[in-house]
Structure 1
Amino acid sequence: MSESDRLATISDLLRERPFISARELRGLVGVSPATIRRDIEKLASSGLAHKVHGGVAALEQSSPGAVAPALPFVENRDIAVDAKKAIARTAAELVRDGSLIIIHAGSTCFHFGCEIAQRNVRVFTNSMPVAAYLNEYGTCQLTIGGGDLHREPGVLYDPTREDYSFYASQFFVGALGVSSEGLLESNPLLVRFINEICGQANEIIVLVDSRKFEAAPPTVVLPLHRVNRLITDDGLSDRAAQMLDEEGVNYMVANVSESSIDR
């Protein structure tokens, strides 16, 4: 397939979908990662699409307030990986040995789970990807939430469960978006679970990469005053940082070179 044909194919796909990962594009057009990166650069420089972490987005989906596409976990896990790993490393520094922590679903929480897999902690999670990784590679103690498996977003959940018999030091949770109103989600199951589990932890620590401040999912799952700390990456915009400051949120900015700045 020639370059012009590839660019036309990608443009046609973006008319139907708000985002396409670079990984998926490589499979669709059958070229190398370097070639896909050049194609994305060409589309962006021509003003036909937006280059974003991990892929390419339609122009109307990258403006502030755009609704974030609910990508499958296997795709989302591989987007903005450097930022998510930096956030995970910074979050791991807050974990105390011997403590019980809760790790929620989502790709940034998955990378955090990988980071603390061999720590001396007990982990409660409802995330199948996190549980599978900790089972295979971890040495920490692991408790898995029961219930039906919801393959997207990859969580175990029992809607009839009335209470939990444990209390954790920290609850590490992600979100599809963040605004002055709070953490934003689109999946009703995640909204319900987060609300239920928040009362079981002493601290709520939010793990979100900087792209999440430009998204606007429909449901506020948790107001910012409930958040004890938020960790994001150094792509945080001045506007988003100002919003966090105005809302009194204690936040940390993780640098992709493994350092962090506490604010």
Structure 2
Amino acid sequence: MLEKHRQQLIIDILEKSQFASVRSLTQQLNASEATIRRDITKMAKRGEITKIRGGAESANKEKKKNQIASTSFSVDKTKQADTKRLIAKRAVELCSDADSIIINGGSSTYMMGEFLCSLQLNILTNSFVLANYITENSDNQVSLPGGEIYRDQGIILSSYESDTIENYRATMMFMGTPGIGEFGVMESDPLLIRSEQKLKKQTEKLVILADSTKLGQHSNFIFCPLSEVDILITDSNADKKLIQDFENLGIQVIIVPFATV
């Protein structure tokens, strides 16, 4: 990742949460502690952020509007990118021309766009970045729900009960997750869960896209129990015991190669 890009992401993270530790930034940006500390020092000298013991805080004390507890799309899409692309490609292989599908916003599902372009599908998505990509590069029919735009996550969310979602019916819903394990499919924010559960009601099968780093991970909230998951697509670095546990619960697990490059 370029230094300029990484430092802009640090600003975005701090404007959202006001504070972040060096350790947290290294995990979110997949960088070394030494690199993050250098970035913080440079940015603090320029007045872009405030350097404090163990981390940094935003120079802007007012939080952005429309914030939810979820990592930024621009941050997420840089993590395990090659592996996520293989997972996304395999997910699209489950689709056939004329299918109606739902795609939840996220970095893993966004990568489906490249492979969806060769198909003719009816797609409902709350990801405005994915919708834009598909409409510019394919003839797929794309529908968006009503709601507010959350720029950091690249999604549209509605706090209202009635919207266009209830008029749509799909064979499959594709979504990513910050973690999937014994407690179920995890999510980071109640507003995300509310929106995603509305989408899920309109579909026959739930397909989870989760690279091996997400397996066994916990988060603050549970989106749904494992009994509601039909298919899990992950990579060959996944823990074999966890895979067996998922299969024992009746989940079809599809494994793609882990991308080493």
TM (norm. structure 1) is 0.71
Contact 2:72–2:153 (CA under 8 A) maintained in structure 1: yes
Shift of 1:28: 7.7
* Cα distance, 1:135 vs structure 2: 2.5
Aligned to 1:219: 221
* Match of residue 237, structure 1, among 236, 239, 245: 239
What does residue range 1-263 of structure 1 map to in structure 2 within 5 Å?
A: 14-15=22-23, 17=25, 19-22=27-30, 70-162=70-162, 164-256=166-258
Count how many residue pairs are aligned between Structure 1 and Structure 2.
208
**1:79 alignment partner, SS class:** coil
Structure 1 residues 20 and 190: CA distance shift in structure 2, 3 A:
closer
Residues 18/78 of structure 1: CA separation in 2 closer, same or farther (3 Å cut)? closer
Question: Any unmatched runs of 5+ in structure 1?
Answer: 1-11, 31-68, 258-263
Deviation, 1:136, is: 2.3
Matched residue SS, 2:167: coil
- The residue matched to 1:19 in structure 2 has which SS? helix
Native 8 Å contact 1:126 1:155 kept in 2:
yes
* CA shift for structure 1 position 162: 2.2
Per-residue deviation at 1:122?
1.2
Q: TM-score, normalised by structure 2?
A: 0.72
Cα distance in 1 for partners of 2:94, 2:24 equals 42
TM-superposed deviation, 1:70: 4.3
Asked if structure 2 preserves the Cα contact closer than 8 Å seen for 1:14 and 1:20, the reply is no
Q: Deviations over 1:123-167 (max 9, x none)?
A: 110012211211222321111122111223221122213261121
**Which residue matches 2:65?**
none
Structure 1 residues 153 and 189: CA distance shift in structure 2, 3 A: farther
Identity of matched residues, %: 25
Contact 1:232/1:252, CA 8 A, preserved across alignment: yes
Aligned 8 A contact 1:180 1:247 in 2: no
SS of the residue aligned with 2:201?
helix
1:101 deviates by: 0.7
Distance change in 2, residues 1:256/1:89 (3 Å): farther
Q: In 1, distance between residues paired with 2:102 and 2:175? A: 8
Cα distance in structure 2, aligned partners of 1:256 and 1:89: 13
Check the 8 A contact 1:101/1:170 in 2, yes or no.
Answer: yes
Q: Which runs of 5+ in 2 are unaligned?
A: 1-19, 40-68
When residues 227 and 13 of structure 1 are mapped into structure 2, their CA distance, relative to the original with a 3 A threshold, is closer
Is the contact made by 2:96 and 2:119 (CA closer than 8 Å) also made in structure 1? no
Q: List structure 1 runs of 4+ shifted beyond 4 angstroms.
A: 22-30
Q: Summarize deviations over 1:33-80 as a string: whole Å, max 9, x none.
A: xxxxxxxxxxxxxxxxxxxxxxxxxxxxxxxxxxxx943110110110
Structure 2 CA distance for aligned equivalents of residues 74 and 23 of structure 1 = 15
Question: What are the Cα deviations for residues 210-252 of structure 1, in whole angstroms up to 9, with x where unaligned?
Answer: 1111421021111111111111111111232132133222111
